[in-house]
Amino acid sequence: MLAQLDQDAQAAAESRALTLDSILDRQRAVATVLAVDQQVIQLLQQGGPDRDFAVSAKMDLLRAETQSDVIYLLDRRGVSVAASNWDLPSSFIGHDYGFRQYFRQAAAQGTGQEYALGTVSGRPGLYLAHDIRDGTTLLGVVVVKVEFDPLEAAWARDTGATHVVDGQDRVIISGQPALRFGALPDVRGMVQARASVRGTDWTLLVRRPLAEAQRVASLAAGTAVLAVLLAGVVVAVIMARLRRAARRARAEAAYRADLERAVEARTRDLSGEMRERRAAEQRLVQLQSDLVQANKLATLGQVSAGFAHEVNQPLATIRLLAENGRAMLDRDPAPVAANLDRIIGMTDRIGQITSELRNFSRKATGAVGRVALADAIQASLMLTASRRRTSAMDFALPDLPPDLAVRAEAVRLEQILVNLLTNAHDAQEGRSDPRIAIAVQADDARVTLTIRDNGPGLSSAMAAQLFTPFATDKPQGLGLGLVISRDIARDFGGELDALPPEPGQGAAFRLTLPRAA
């Protein structure tokens, strides 16, 4: 019982740490993008009230789209010259933040972060800072503040307790806000699990009361322990890959920022313009490739949430058939062969599921060739099957001829389809009549695939920014899945778009690809 409770607490700690990693990665990306924004750089170089207003308005829009709490710009002295809250009485504009640790870190090292109380708002939060330079000259620092009230509220609803402590064992984020900025109390009679938060010296701790052990034991029947262990191994592998992909993405983003500054400086010299442009394009292609792989692994992290269920059911059936076969071996051997045949079928099913997960996680080669459309759709449906079974979703798929093929790459085509199917599942969360319909039309040159759901549909505002980076209505989403999917489709010579919203109808996405002979 205690072992099961330990495993559950550890799984919860790693899952919540991964959620926190996602929030921090998104906010760091905001700071990185603004650090190379030309309007921001021109404001720091030239000033002017018109530029102040334009930059503040841009920061306010970006804050709303990325769920930041406030974004502001400091000059080289640490004085705020633009802020997303420019039109509020509590505006940061004009305040001196040169004494702040995050400002000094960014000015000296390029980036900085600090968890502290706001000097104006008095509210606690994490400050993420990124330097802005002209060559080696410091122009200023952009700062993104993120508060964790929604995350703490979610943790507070748990039967246990969740806390985040910094390198000095000081509580900074907690489902019990009264503990903030103090030492973590020593509580007896609880199981504790911990996980590191990437890019920080923070540790996330989950505490569960020992009284839950009996409840966990009653739910752990048959081969549940084996299934949890197997799922834990898969999740650990996926998380390791996600961390490596995120580190590569951050390294590429930093390198790209340096390269863009170098390109801008060298444009004054016409003789070097073409050489620098080719280098920038090569780096961009590599960055896009890594972003595609990072999105795929993030999608795989969502898909793997149903993997334990997909494997647990066949394993439970195998266990039951084996026990029945053993009981009947002496009395009536005839049904034993039938049980063994079903066991073989169950193991084939498990092998098929793990094979699809392994193929999907591989990095694409970039080679475009002939891909059977029916095979790609079936592989994508298998990767998302648990979501449909959990919600009893109605699914409509036309009969496809096995020779209908498109020009694409199998792994990247599956990535597009999994993204679209996952979005359709998310849009129908909690509905009583969820439904997904796939329609395919083909002529001699093109194949058009339409995926339509039965959700609330797209608002006009959301439809207008669907393919804009960081634009998302999911609390934990990065807003990059559709952007990357459209880029992949265009790389194949095709297109991905959303059909115009219709009142009372769900969302519909149309994928058009060249037909292969």
- CATH number of the domain that 103 lies in? 3.30.450.20
Domain boundary at 106, 130, 145, which? 145
| Pairwise CA distance, residues 39 & 54, whole Å | 8
Please count the residues of the chain.
517
Specify whether 311 is located in the same domain as 394: no
For the chain, the domain total comes to 4
Farthest-apart Cα atoms in the chain, separation: 93
CA 427 to chain centre: 16
| Pairwise CA distance, residues 226 & 242, whole Å | 24
Specify whether 349 is located in the same domain as 424: no
Q: Which domain holds residue 52?
A: 36-145
Is the distance from CB of 124 to CB of 117 less than 8 angstroms?
Answer: yes
Specify whether 376 is located in the same domain as 465: yes
Specify whether 3 is located in the same domain as 80: no
Specify whether 2 is located in the same domain as 101: no
Helix axes 2-35, 224-266, angle to 10 degrees: 10
> What is the full per-residue pLDDT of the chain (517 aa) written as tens digits?
677 878 888 999 999 999 999 999 999 999 999 999 999 999 999 887 777 888 999 999 999 988 899 999 999 999 999 999 999 998 999 999 999 999 999 999 999 999 999 988 889 999 999 999 999 999 999 999 999 999 999 999 987 899 999 999 999 999 898 899 999 888 777 888 999 999 899 999 999 887 755 554 555 545 555 566 666 666 676 777 888 888 888 877 877 787 778 767 776 666 666 677 666 566 655 555 555 555 655 555 555 545 555 555 666 666 666 766 666 666 666 666 666 666 666 566 565 566 555 555 555 566 889 999 999 998 888 878 776 777 778 888 888 998 999 999 988 898 899 889 988 888 888 888 899 999 999 999 999 999 999 988 888 778 878 888 766 666 555 667 888 899 899 999 999 999 988 877 899 999 999 999 8
Residue 408 lies in a domain: yes
Specify whether 427 is located in the same domain as 445: yes
Residue 238 lies in a domain: no
Domain boundary at 117, 145, 173, which? 145
Specify whether 41 is located in the same domain as 105: yes
Specify whether 256 is located in the same domain as 207: no
pTM of the model: 0.44
In which region does residue 504 sit, left (phi positive, over 0), alpha (psi from -120 to 50) or beta (all else)? left
Specify whether 256 is located in the same domain as 120: no
Residue 325 lies in a domain: yes
Q: For 448-488, give the DSSP string.
A: EEEEEE-SS---HHHHHTTTSTT--SSTT--S-HHHHHHHH
Q: For 32-53, give the DSSP string.
A: HHHHT-HHHHHHHHH--HHHHH
Residue 104 lies in a domain: yes
Specify whether 393 is located in the same domain as 510: yes
Residue 31 lies in a domain: no
